[in-house]
Chain A
Amino acid sequence: MSSLKSWKEIPMGGVAYRLSTDVKTGDWRALKPVIDQNKCTKCMICWLFCPDMSIIWDGEKVYVNYDYCKGCGICANECPVKAISMVPELGE
């Protein structure tokens, strides 16, 4: 939000002039999913359900992309082995 553009500088019709990934929607989160790697069976059900594509598989383990995870808790709800817990964000 540092430099708001004038109407002469933006494309018509409200087309996004920046990538939507520029907006770190993780800021909206109140509860943060934390994965217990000892319990995780890497079944990827959380990945399947995540509406924001914020569950990442790096080839070895499952982790959360906190830049875009809004903390909806679907992953924790769906995890069959209860490996994900929702922890309150305490802020800075």
Chain B
Amino acid sequence: MSELELVPKYPREKQTMINVNGDEAIAYAVKQSYVDVVAAYPITPQTIIVEKFSEFVANGETHTEFVAVESEHSAMSACVGAAASGARAFTATSSQGLALMVEVLYIASGLRLPMVLAVVNRALSAPINIHNDHSDAYLMRDAGWIMLFAENVQEAYDTTIQAFKISEHPDVQLPASVHIDGFFLSHTLENIYTLPDEAVYDFLGGPRKIAKVRVDYFDEEVNYALDPARPLSIGNLALYDYYFEIKVPQVLSMRKAEEVIKEVNEEWYKLTGRKYGNGLVDPFMVEDADIVIIAMGSSAGTVRSVVKKYREKGVKVGLLRIRSFRPFPHKDIVELLSGSKLVAVMDKGIGPGQYGALYLDVAASLYHSKSKPILVDYVYGLGGRDLSPEMVEQMINNLLKDLEKGYILEEERLRFLGVRG
């Protein structure tokens, strides 16, 4: 907030502070977002979202139709049905639940149905584990969903409300997922500022606005929704003659989503006084940094505190937090890293036989940058292994040695941070 001090429409004194964990914050945001249908199945560490939300329904605090389904596959299928009928739909899951949901995730995005999914990131089996890493998120990276990663509980609340707006934007019409780190955020209490119900209602423009489509058999544009009065055939077979033409607009809308995420971030700033970088990326002391660390989710907080400490010692290090994993902010990365000499990507997930997914995306951006910094991948935090400030310090100390040396050998480019042996 270095520019002109902006007075938000709802300054802090007009907002209500509540003490909630990440899951409760999301449930509360969903309640305020005038959601018509929630279909969900409980799984640790997402359970509290569903539990809390079903309480809101039981208490009559929301008009939402709550569907207790028998699996995550059915949860997403019910959301697809709800969204296809024009409703605002929401579900939440983690890990194995997301894996079971994946088949239907592609259908939601392919049918261009706006909805929001909260993913409380948890490691995938085997070995079975309930704690946080991003291996489940990496599983859905090509499913055609907008993927936003929150750093703290406040951002989880803010991003959930924003996600409905982004997803339903006329130029986007794609489903969106909000990611929070299991336990680190889902079960950690934080005091957060919340808007009054009517402010969220107005921000989202009331209930979901249904997109229009033009078909040969109706004279005027009709709602893209299942309506007995104006029946449409949704979910059709499209072979080599049309599949490609139906997929391309999906990719182009994802590009448009980049601008929409930025706009919504600004709009939220004017409303609440809070914003997260430009919406896509959240840089910290990157401008003059020799070494830039790239991270997603709650770890960014730990890295930021260590970066601050090293800056005090005069070490030119910075943090670039990726908030939007899909669409991936290639342009911002090239611009922000143009002056850096060494970039360390922190991947909370692995792809055996390959680098981590975040590293690959950053490498794809930097290939087109004029000044190619040295690039290294740090895999960390698997299965909920804590990232301590000491581990980040150890990483920065190693990076300083690499910078002095001026190169990193191919066999040293994939490193494991915090593993024994």
Contacts and interface: CB of A to CB of B under 8 A. Distances in A.
Interface of A: 1, 4-7, 10-20
B224 A10 contact: no
Contacts of B217: 18-19
18 contacts: A4-B241, A4-B242, A7-B244, A7-B246, A7-B248, A10-B245, A10-B246, A11-B224, A13-B112, A13-B234, A14-B246, A15-B213, A15-B224, A15-B234, A16-B232, A17-B215, A17-B216, A18-B215
Contacts of A6: 245
A12 B216 contact: no
A15 B236 CA distance: 7
Contacts of B245: 5-7, 10
Given A6-B245, A7-B248, A14 B110 contact: yes
B241 A1 contact: yes
Interface residues of B, number: 25
B238 interface: yes
A17 B213 CA distance: 9
B248 A14 contact: no
A12 B173 contact: yes
A13 B224 contact: yes
A10 B232 contact: no
Contacts, number: 60
B233 A16 contact: yes
Nearest to B217: A19
Contact of B112 (A7, A12, A18, A19): A12
Question: Which secondary structure dominates chain A's binding surface?
Answer: loop
A13 B242 CA distance: 11
A15 B111 CA distance: 8
A70 B213 CA distance: 31
B99 to A, nearest CB: 25
Contacts of B248: 7
In the A-B complex, the 4 residue pairs with the closest CB atoms: A13-B112, A11-B213, A16-B233, A7-B245
Contacts of B118: none
Nearest to A11: B213
Interface-central residue, A5, A10, A13, A17, by most chain B CB under 10 Å? A13
Contacts of B110: 13-14
Kindly name the residue among B110, B113, B246 whose own CB sees the greatest number of chain A CB atoms within 10 A.
B246
Nearest to B253: A12
B350 interface: no
Contact of B216 (A7, A13, A14, A18): A18
A11 B236 CA distance: 12
Contacts of A20: 233
B249 interface: yes
B235 interface: yes
Interface in B199-247: 211, 213-217, 224, 232-236, 238, 241-242, 244-246
